[in-house]
Amino acid sequence: MIARAWTVLFALVLAAGSPTAPALLAQEPTTTVANKQDLARSRFRDLTERMQKLMVVLQGAEPENSKVLAAGLTFVQEKKMHDRLEQASSLMQQERWDDSLAVMTVLRKDLQTLYDLLQNRNVDLRKLMEQIQKLQAFRDRVDALSKEQGQEKNDSARLEDLQKHIAEIEAQKARAEALLAAQKNVRDQTNQLGVQAAAEATKPLADKEGELQQDTDKLAKDLVELEKKDAELKKEAKAGAAGDPKNAENKPNDEAPKSEGSCSGKAGQAAQAMGKAQKQLGDKKAESSLKDQEQAIENLKKTVQELDAMAEEARREMLKLPFEQLAKKQEQTQHATDTLSKDMEQSEQPDENGESQPAPGKKRVQQAVPKQRAAAGQLKEFKPAKQKQQDAKDDLEAAKKELDEALAQLRQQLSDEVLRALEERFTAMLAKQRELSTETKTLDATRKNVLTPDGALPSALGNRILAVADGEGDLEVEASDARKLLEEDGTTAVFPPMVDALKEELQGVVRRCRGKETDAPVQAGQREVEDILELLINALRREIERRDGGGQCNCNGQPPLVPVSAELKVLRYLQERVNKATKEFDGRPADQKANEDGAAVAKTLSTKQGRVQDLMRKLAVKLGKENEAEEGR
């Protein structure tokens, strides 16, 4: 019902105070213009009565719409619009054209204001878009902070890993040094035995060498695990301090431990040499075992050296992540998070009841701040703080999720508002276009019988044709506004070019009407405008009915204005129209195809076919992008 009321008011706005009104008032009979004014007054009275009834009905179910209607009725009373409409009618009856025109000009402005007031959807859309922009900005800041916090947590965790790694290296180095000292002691004892050593002298040393060989072999195996950890840490460093774990996982392992020259390799070689020395001592070949013992000592020394190098490299890596630097970065993130929470709080505007709605995610952002502060404190005490940092990151991720959910709801609401705003706009345009089309047919029939003696068009009739041109121009402005709505929505590939086509048709009709044409090409253009509007309205209404029936959008992020199926139906309808027109043209006699009119028709058909092809290409590109996005998710 509201949509019908807006349609009536829209027609009144376009009709009242036209730029050609002075000429029309001067040329048409007084009774004609007075009757039209009475019709406008009657329609406006019906409209306000309908608004009054509807306001009462909507008070319970739709209080916001009821308030809009109340505001509109108050505006009508304050501006005394009923009285001024009656005044304009009275002035026309008295043939006081200039005075009546002055009253009508002001009335037109007031009618436009009333129309804008009642159809507050544009205001609602702006508010929705502003809210979406605001929440999107908050969401982007939360996302950036979450990533920043995650990186700081990774740096802290890496620092802790390096600390543990260095401690493990030092522990393994102490084992190697103990084994080295023990091996030197066995070598010294072996060296004192002489060439002819008795079995009772070599056996204890052989047993001792066996124990050393077992311990060294175990050390070698433990060093393999240490080297793996070392390689992982180096990979993380190359990947940007674990900034991208996937990258670290997929990169070739340039730091894989080698069998020769690595800590575990040298320890393994020492264990092998000890085994040989044990065998020599078991065979009472003390002197022969000395060579293997020296080899074991040399390999253990190299093991200690390489462990020293490994520890030094880990310490150098730690210097890249000093606690002071990490604490400073954490404090910066904490300040940025605290600033965001305050900005979110300040953005909470009170509603009509004086109550403020909390910004989505604000509470979780606030909860992250003390955890970040605690993490910075721990880092200042030279203690890793990865758990506090992870907790803060979890809060920020939860805030981002709340913002995503709120944005999804707002975008769905925006889509619904745009859908209805476009349907109402196009419906009003169609009603006006049908009036203009009827007027054009009437003028075309009239002009054949009212030509002046010299064959010229009477000025009154010419002015009426110009009035049609003005009306078509107003519709072109409406189409431009609709195009802006579709641009801001940005989810449909077919509708914007369709509205562009609508504007082109209207421009052609305006151009011909300004040339005082009313014949078949003008009327064909007007029918094309009506057809495009009907096509758009039907597609929009089907989607409105689907949503009102509980239809859900299976989309991520911003919902499409209309589903792809609706866009395909529009394309199919357009193609069917082109096919039908092509068959009709093909059925013409050859001479009618070859003449000037036939060439124009063929060019028009070619243009329409090209438009369908272009729309199909745009839709295919849109579908391709959606599929890529879906695969990315």
User: In the structure, what pLDDT confidence band is assigned to residue 33 with cuts at 50, 70 and 90?
Assistant: low
pLDDT tens, 161-211?
A: 999 999 999 999 999 999 999 999 999 998 887 655 566 778 888 999 999
Q: CA 342 to CA 157: how far, in whole Å?
A: 30
CATH number for the domain running over 418-555: 1.20.120
Segment among 13-27, 41-55, 560-574 with least mean pLDDT: 13-27
* 418-555 shares its CATH topology with 563-633: no
Helical H segments across 252-384, by residue range: 263-282, 286-319, 323-346, 362-380
Q: CA 41 to CA 99: how far, in whole Å?
A: 17
Residue 299 has pLDDT above 70, yes or no: yes
What pLDDT is stored for residue 401 in this prediction? 95
- Do 363 and 339 meet the contact criterion of CB atoms below 8 Å apart? no
Report helix, strand or coil for 103.
helix
Question: Could you state, in order of their start, the residue ranges of all structural domains in the chain?
Answer: 1-120, 155-320, 418-555, 563-633
User: In the structure, what pLDDT confidence band is assigned to residue 60 with cuts at 50, 70 and 90?
Assistant: confident
Q: What share of the chain has pLDDT > 70, as a percent?
A: 83
Which is more confidently placed, 569 or 147?
147
Segment among 131-140, 243-252, 449-458, 500-509 with least mean pLDDT: 243-252
Work out the average pLDDT over 313-337.
91
| Residues paired with residue 394 on neighbouring β-strands, in sequence order | none
User: In the structure, what pLDDT confidence band is assigned to residue 403 with cuts at 50, 70 and 90?
Assistant: very high
CATH number for the domain running over 563-633: 1.20.58
What pLDDT is stored for residue 623 in this prediction? 77
User: How much is the pTM?
Assistant: 0.61
Range with top average pLDDT, 15-24, 346-355, 428-437: 428-437
Which is more confidently placed, 113 or 430?
430
Measured in degrees and rounded to the nearest 5, phi and psi for residue 615 equal: -65, -40
SS (H, E, C) 465-523: HHHHHHHHHHHHHHHHHHHHHHHHHCCCCCHHHHHHHHHHHHHHHHHHHHCCCCCHHHH
pLDDT tens, 361-399?
A: 999 999 999 999 999 999 999 888 999 999 999 999 999
Gap between the terminal Cα atoms of the chain = 43
